[in-house]
Amino acid sequence: MGHFSVSVVGRDRPGIVAEVSRVLFEQGCNIEDSTCTILSGQFAMILVISHPKMAGVGDLNPAFEEVRSKMGLMVTLHALKDDEVVHEKAFSGQPHIISVYGADRPGIVYMVTKELARRKVNITDLNTQVVGSKDRPVYVMVLEVDLPEGIDMKELEREFDRIRKELNVSITLRPIETMEL
């Protein structure tokens, strides 16, 4: 079984997901994992796909030529090694959401994520956006994280307090309720 990552980037418009998934379906691929978003009018999607017989990107890459030219998309494929494909959760820990709000300025993502990395916190999802008016832009960052067992929450809150004061932002941390299916 061959596994591949597929990255798709281009100007947003309706039909991108349909066209990309059509090509994958016609080639006999299974979409195992995916995410997509729109960033300042640019569509971005990453998929992990599998195929029972294909082992190299050379087998699949030409199938995307029509989508590339017709929709003006950059489609990149990368073959994954067996140890790069993980179906179970790679990190254990307590899932939490961190929300950050403040005036738009450089350094917000770096300052928060640097402190999380120092504490071996795994970021499982991160979204940022500038909202508000042109005169009063507000930076919003929402992170889903796994806090490792034994993390010193008081120390983390002290660091968040320091960042709050230094960058004049609001930072909240709350647990995510999990559910077993």
pLDDT tens track for 75-120: 999 999 888 887 666 557 889 999 999 998 899 999 999 999 999 9
Q: Where in the sequence is the domain holding 115, given as residue range(s)?
A: 94-175
Percent above pLDDT 90 for the chain: 77
DSSP conformation letters of 82-124: GGG---S-SS-SEEEEEEEEEE--TTHHHHHHHHHHHTTPEEE
Assess whether 76 and 123 both reside in one domain. no
What is the mean predicted confidence (pLDDT) over 61-85?
92
Lowest model confidence (mean pLDDT) among 12-21, 64-73, 86-95: 86-95
Q: Which residues pair with 49 in a beta bridge?
A: 4, 31
Q: Looking at residues 10-39, what average pLDDT do you find? A: 94
Q: Domain containing 160 — which CATH number?
A: 3.30.70.260
| Closest to 152 (Cα-Cα) out of 127, 98, 104, 115 | 115
Residue-level pLDDT at 86 = 78
Global pTM? Answer: 0.76
Task: Say which residue, 121 or 59, is predicted with more confidence.
Answer: 121
Cα(149)–Cα(151) distance, rounded to whole angstroms? Answer: 6
Parallel, antiparallel, or unpaired: how do β-strands 30-39 and 42-51 relate? antiparallel
Pair 154, 99 in one domain: yes
Residues 99 and 74 occupy one common structural domain: no
pLDDT at 107: 93
pLDDT of residue 59: 82
Query: With left for phi above 0 and alpha for psi between -120 and 50, is residue 59 left, alpha or beta?
Result: alpha
- Look at residue 168 and tell me whether its pLDDT is greater than 60: yes
Helix (H/G/I), strand (E/B), else coil: 45: strand
Find the mean pLDDT for residues 129-152: 92
Which of 60, 84, 108 is the last residue before a domain boundary?
84
Return the CA Rg of the chain. 20
pLDDT confidence of 24, banded at 50, 70, 90?
A: very high
> What mean pLDDT value characterizes the chain?
91
Query: Across-strand partners of 169?
Result: 102
| Terminal CA-CA length for the chain | 27
Backbone angles phi, psi at 91, to 5 degrees: -120, 145
Q: Is the pLDDT at 48 greater than 90, yes or no?
A: yes
89 found inside a domain? no
Residue 181, in any domain of the structure: no
